């Protein structure tokens, strides 16, 4: 049963990444007729309205509802979800959608650093290396030319969006065990309304109704279904593992951008892509294997002089620690076992 839940959660995380990846290149098309803040509003409203209809069809009775203690995290989640998509839409409108897709992977870095600084979560050496590679990759994509030191405003806005989502991920993680429907509906409706008010203040005009409906539909798929599946996966896998699986989204989004817009494959872009892939692979590996040292007792039974003896050895060493929901195991090298056996006889 636990294995089935984990497999389902992994599938949810991967589908969440694919659904979100669709959002970036298709938003680029709609931004030709819809203002960036208005676009962010429609995306979140589409998410809230769509998941609201789904909740009428199949709300799970065992899900816990949000309570008063969850209010600070809910408010933080909503405010950050107002700011993040506005920054993202501005970034897409000023820059290329392929760059925006890859820079979106910086969300992993932001989520990890915030979790470490605020929630005091341990970060391994492997993960720090991954953070460095992803940061370097993001830096390469943020400049508009090899010989230019002029910073790209589009890239800056995308990076600001990822930082907002890094904070938002940590807020959502605190309430991920509660009703997924409530979380997504609150995210969608209130974040969408907040963005809509800001769009009116910025005097962005309402687009024709067909484009509004297309944006709402894109929001339902790219934001609504993505967030819904992400939260479901997060409640089983945890924030770190879900974020790692979600890292495929930028690469899938970049692939769609090359197909739709024929974005050029420059040397800088390919170098950044390579660094991003290596960094993401390290993040995924870090979620699967943990290294730490602790104490074990090992017993060795042997026979000599016609009698049986049992020796117990206590030692501490660093090794791979594999953890699943229902069991964990340790892997010792042959040299470690020989050393333990010699120690038992001494």
What residue segments make up the domains of the chain, in order of their start? 2-287, 291-345
Under DSSP, is residue 261 helix (H, G, I), strand (E, B) or coil? Answer: helix
pLDDT digits (tens, 9 = 90+) for 307-340: 555 555 444 444 444 443 333 444 444 444 445 4
What gap in Å lies between CA 209 and CA 14, rounded to an integer?
Answer: 32
Please, are residues 20 and 250 in contact by the beta-carbon 8 Å criterion?
A: no
What gap in Å lies between CA 133 and CA 57, rounded to an integer?
Answer: 44
Please, are residues 101 and 24 in contact by the beta-carbon 8 Å criterion?
A: yes
Is the pLDDT reported for residue 88 higher than 80? yes
What gap in Å lies between CA 248 and CA 21, rounded to an integer?
Answer: 8
Q: What is the mean pLDDT of residues 232-237?
A: 81
**Helix, strand counts (H, E) of the chain:** 14, 3
* Residue 334: predicted pLDDT: 43
Q: What DSSP string describes 104-140? A: TTHHHHHHHHHHHHHH-----HHHHHHHHHHHHHHHH
pTM above 0.85, yes or no: no
For CA atoms 99, 104, 105, 107, the dihedral sign is positive
Q: What is the mean pLDDT of residues 242-265?
A: 70
pLDDT digits (tens, 9 = 90+) for 118-169: 877 667 788 788 878 877 877 676 665 544 444 577 888 888 999 998 898 8
Q: What SS3 string covers 172-206?
A: HHCCCCECHHHHHHHHHHHHHHHHHHHHHHCCCCC
Q: What DSSP string describes 234-256? A: HHHH-HHHHHHHTTHHHHHHHHH
């Amino acid at each position: 049963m636990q294995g089935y839940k984990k497999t389902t959660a992994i599938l949810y995380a991967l589908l969440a990444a694919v659904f979100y990846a669709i959002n970036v290149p298709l938003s680029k098309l709609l931004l030709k007729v819809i203002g960036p803040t208005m676009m962010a509003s429609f995306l979140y409203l589409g998410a809230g309205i769509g998941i609201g209809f789904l909740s009428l069809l199949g709300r799970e009775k065992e899900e816990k509802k949000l309570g008063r203690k969850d209010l600070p995290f809910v408010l933080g989640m909503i405010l950050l979800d107002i700011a993040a998509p506005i920054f993202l839409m501005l970034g897409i409108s000023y820059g290329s959608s392929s760059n925006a897709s890859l820079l979106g992977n910086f969300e992993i870095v932001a989520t990890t650093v915030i979790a470490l600084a605020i929630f005091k979560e341990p970060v391994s050496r492997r993960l720090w290396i991954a953070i460095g590679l992803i940061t370097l990759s993001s830096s390469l994509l943020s400049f508009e030319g090899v010989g230019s030191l002029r910073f790209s405003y589009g890239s800056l806005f995308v990076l600001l969006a990822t930082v907002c989502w890094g904070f938002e991920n940590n807020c959502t993680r605190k309430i991920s065990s509660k009703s997924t429907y409530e979380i997504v509906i609150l995210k969608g409706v209130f974040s969408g309304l907040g963005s809509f008010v800001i769009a009116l203040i910025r005097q962005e005009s309402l687009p024709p109704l067909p484009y509004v409906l297309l944006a709402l539909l894109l929001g339902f798929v790219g934001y609504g279904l993505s967030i819904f599946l992400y939260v479901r996966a997060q409640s089983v896998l945890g924030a770190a593992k879900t974020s790692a699986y979600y890292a495929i989204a930028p690469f899938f989004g970049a692939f769609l951008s090359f197909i739709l817009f024929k974005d050029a494959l420059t040397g800088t872009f390919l170098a950044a892509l390579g660094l991003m892939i290596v960094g993401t692979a390290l993040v995924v590996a870090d979620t699967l294997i943990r290294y730490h040292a602790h104490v074990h007792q090992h017993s060795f039974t042997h026979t000599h002089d016609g009698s049986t003896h049992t020796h117990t050895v206590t030692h501490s060493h660093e090794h791979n620690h594999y953890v699943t929901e229902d069991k964990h195991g340790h892997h010792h090298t042959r040299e470690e076992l020989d050393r333990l056996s010699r120690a038992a006889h001494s």
